[in-house]
Amino acid sequence: MNDKDALIGTDHLGWVTKSGFEPFDYADRETPPHQIAGATIDGENVAWVETTSTDLFHSDWRIYAAEMGRRGRTLVADSAAVYGKRMLRWAFGETVPVVLGSRVYWPAVPPGGDAKDTRVLYDDLDGSAARPRVLEGALPATNGRRLFVVRQHLADPSKGDVRIISRTPTGAESVVQRFRLASGQWVTALAASRTHLAWVVKESDTRSSLYVEGLTTGKITGIVMHHGGADTMALGVGRNLIAWGNGSGNGDEDPGEYVYRPRTGALVRLGEQLGHSVAYANGPWIAWAQIKQHGASGISRMTVSH
């Protein structure tokens, strides 16, 4: 939506047990309604971002963390405390925070900036740092051992090398990939597991390529995708599988949801969902969207496959 007067409900995050849904914590009823814009899990730690915005171009954010199996949540960082009480431009790429060890990382844009000014902020999961620290780059991804970020000239990546950086929890960095792009091309998505690193290069409005690298072998496989590789597309890497969907799936773009298995080379089309083409991966699990139509409205459910 893009309406400052629109009303939204309040989302809750939690886990599903035999007893049903158990939220980490119910939101303070005195705060404005908010929605969850993205969440991630690493081991027992969960992190997510909430916003009160219904604007497609501007938002505020609050980063929360919780531990699986326990009630309660921790406020890690609040954009109002970091940048003041103003709406900010959405960051380049997915706005999902990622967890590595005792820290959480997320992309953000400072006041007055836009997507080309995206940087990565990070803080301790307990929110103990006075202010989040700043890391150059965008598209943060983790595999439980290392953080990966992309450093490219976001206004025009053809101006210089594009580098995919690996960073340890102690801050030691190394370059995993270095390459050049033509004008009009961008790296728009990044995801990782213990065994594989995947990234998407937008090549035109109707075509992009997915690259999958084996982190132990260094072997890279390229897959042509028949959509524009928007930075809002879904990309996930699990245990020997990569899953993706193109996000909106509008116009003549392919709205398919896919999974690729590097070990066998198998590429499977899970289905398609025009307007909400997403697929996710975590460990041996994959999930994708199916919208069941009931009259004029739709209900979205996630199908999980082992």
Rounded CA-CA distance 273/260 in Å is 18
Helices (H), the chain: 79-83
- Residue 250: predicted pLDDT: 65
- Residue 306: predicted pLDDT: 46
Cα distances (angstroms) measured from residue 25 to each of 11, 38, 52, 77, 287 = 11, 17, 17, 17, 25
Q: For every one of its 306 residues, what pLDDT tens digit does the chain have, with 9 covering 90 and above?
A: 455 556 676 677 887 777 888 787 765 555 677 888 888 888 889 999 999 888 878 899 999 999 887 778 899 999 999 999 888 999 999 888 999 999 999 999 999 999 999 999 999 998 877 789 999 999 999 999 999 999 999 999 999 999 999 999 999 999 999 999 999 999 999 999 999 999 999 999 889 999 999 999 999 999 999 899 988 899 999 999 999 998 876 667 888 999 999 999 999 999 888 888 899 898 888 989 887 765 444 444 545 554
CB-based contact 236:243 (threshold 8 Å): yes
Please list, in sequence order, all residues whose beta carbon lies within 8 angstroms of the beta carbon of residue 230, skipping any fewer than 6 positions away: 188, 202, 246, 247, 248
CB-based contact 62:78 (threshold 8 Å): yes
pLDDT in tens, 75-86: 999 999 999 988
Tell me the pTM.
Answer: 0.89
SS3 136: coil
> To 10 degrees, the CA torsion angle through 114, 118, 123, 129?
-60
- Residue 224: predicted pLDDT: 94
- Residue 297: predicted pLDDT: 42
Rounded CA-CA distance 265/187 in Å is 23
Task: State the amino acid at position 181 in one-letter form.
Answer: L
Rounded CA-CA distance 243/258 in Å is 6
Look at the alpha carbons of 21, 22, 27, 29 in this order and tell me if their dihedral is positive or negative.
Answer: positive
- Residue 35: predicted pLDDT: 85
pLDDT in tens, 269-282: 998 888 888 998 98
Rounded CA-CA distance 143/139 in Å is 14
- Residue 298: predicted pLDDT: 45
- Residue 76: predicted pLDDT: 94
- Here the contacts of 148-156 (C-beta below 8 Å, separation 24 or greater) are 148/176, 148/190, 148/192, 148/197, 149/120, 149/190, 150/187, 150/190, 150/199, 152/181, 152/186, 152/187, 154/92, 154/115, 154/116, 154/117, 154/118, 154/186, 155/116, 156/183
pLDDT in tens, 192-230: 999 999 999 999 988 999 999 999 999 999 999 989 998
Rounded CA-CA distance 199/188 in Å is 7
Per the listing, tokens 């994959």 go with: 286
